[in-house]
Structure 1
């Protein structure tokens, strides 16, 4: 489901929480407009006036719910990262009991699809997040996926090399995959998808291989 159509709880930064369907629809309309303006004009070019115009409402109507443009953009980021987290979490959970050589490429392929659905929004979020409180939402997303990575490592404790720190491994796994998949989507992509999946899978699977055992097998 795309961020534009995802039914979500009201953003945490709202000036007042919408209680009626009409109010919730207004908030959704403002967030949709904020997404359009962020993509078209970037953070610096965004303004409450532009967002209100895109939503077809007056600035005063916008201010009833959002105190400034930062809270609108933060709501856009919250909705987007929430949709990503839901989609990836569902796929990871479905693959937890499968062997890493099967689960890893399938999960990364799903992540590529999710990121690739809205590359223009992904670019805007990646560029603007460090300047907003929305960065906390991205961090929360990373923590959620990190928990799943730790669960995957725990389920396969017998195959994980002795001495591997699950916390450190999960941190590195999540951020390595996150960074490489985002850059793959935003940079072109620079190489064939099949090549990318094969190479990043090999990189991730190193966390599940005992180097001494692997050396003996070769």
Structure 2
């Protein structure tokens, strides 16, 4: 799918008072989005939650799609940063299976704590917002590729390996969070770890296994 151009905010805040107003609107947008879902998160509801008039909201955001797009981007950035920190910490030492297990656990925990955002990203965004999901996935791909570079032999396609790993763990973790199975959480983490470690064993530099 070709990338679509995102519409900008109507007015960029230049003073602290304006920036505080935008933060207030975005915080209210997040609350309304999780409480009512994307379709029912109207600008009227968001303005009421922010304690402002709809006119004040429209000074900064031309419509709800631009506003909610900013909300989703801000939350996705925070989630990506959290996952990035976990990846770095888990790869700092220990065996590869421990690093994989730590990253799987970190991803599932982050998704569980942001289940509302996850549901919006994967179940509620309109078709013209598909690029936001793609952006989020691409950022996680980059993190995984960087993490793998030190383990793969020279010439290995780290990007391809990362794509397989990310899509596998992403779909399993999202399914676990949004459609919980009757499987113990620890057992699920161990099985996903075994799956990924087994795949990596066929791709890694033997000295780093």
Q: TM-score range by the shorter chain?
A: 0.7 to 0.9
Deviation of 1:125 after TM superposition, in Å, equals 2.8
Counterpart in the other structure of 1:200:
192
Instruction: Identify which range, 116-125 or 177-186, moves more after superposition.
Output: 116-125
1:192 & 1:49 partners in 2: Cα distance? 42
Query: CA shift at 1:86, angstroms?
Result: 0.2
Q: CA deviation at 1:163?
A: 9.1
Match of 2:152 among 143, 154, 157: 157
Q: CA deviation at 1:136?
A: 2.5
Regions of 4+ moved over 4 Å: none
Match of 1:52 in 2: 47
SS in 1 for 2:13: coil
Secondary structure class of the residue paired with 1:155 = coil
> Match for residue 172 of structure 2?
180
Q: Is the 8 A contact 1:119 1:186 kept in 2?
A: yes
One of 121, 127, 132 as aligned partner of 1:125? 121
Does the CA contact (< 8 Å) of 2:122 and 2:133 recur in 1?
A: no
Q: Aligned partners of 1:127 and 1:96: how far apart in 2?
A: 32
**Which of 135, 144, 152 is the equivalent residue of 2:139?**
144
Q: Which sections of structure 2, spanning at least 5 residues, go unmatched?
A: 1-5, 204-209
Which shows bigger deviation, 113-122 or 68-77?
113-122
Shift of 1:18: 1.0
Unpaired segments ≥5 residues, structure 1: 1-10, 212-218
Question: Contact conserved, 2:28 with 2:47, CA < 8 A, in 1?
Answer: yes
Distance 2:179 2:99 in 1: 25
Residue 54 of structure 1 and its aligned partner are, at CA, apart by 1.4
Q: Does 1:170 align with 2:166?
A: no
Deviations 1:18-77 (A, max 9, x none): 122221111111112212222222222121111111111111100011000001111111
Per the normalisation by structure 2, the TM-score is 0.84
Superimposed CA distance per residue, residues 140-198 of structure 1 (whole angstroms, 9 cap, x where no aligned partner): 2322221232233321124xxx9964322211111111121112111235311111110
Deviation at 1:137, TM superposition (A): 3.3
Q: Would you say the 8 A contact 1:17–1:65 is kept in 2?
A: yes
Query: Which residue of 80, 83, 88 corresponds with 2:83?
Result: 88
Please tell me whether the aligned partners of residues 43 and 128 of structure 1 are also in contact (alpha carbons under 8 angstroms). yes
**1:76 lines up with 2:68 in the alignment:** no
TM-score normalised per structure 1:
0.81
Aligned-partner Cα distance in 2 for 1:103–1:70: 39
**Equivalent position of 1:8 in the other structure:** none
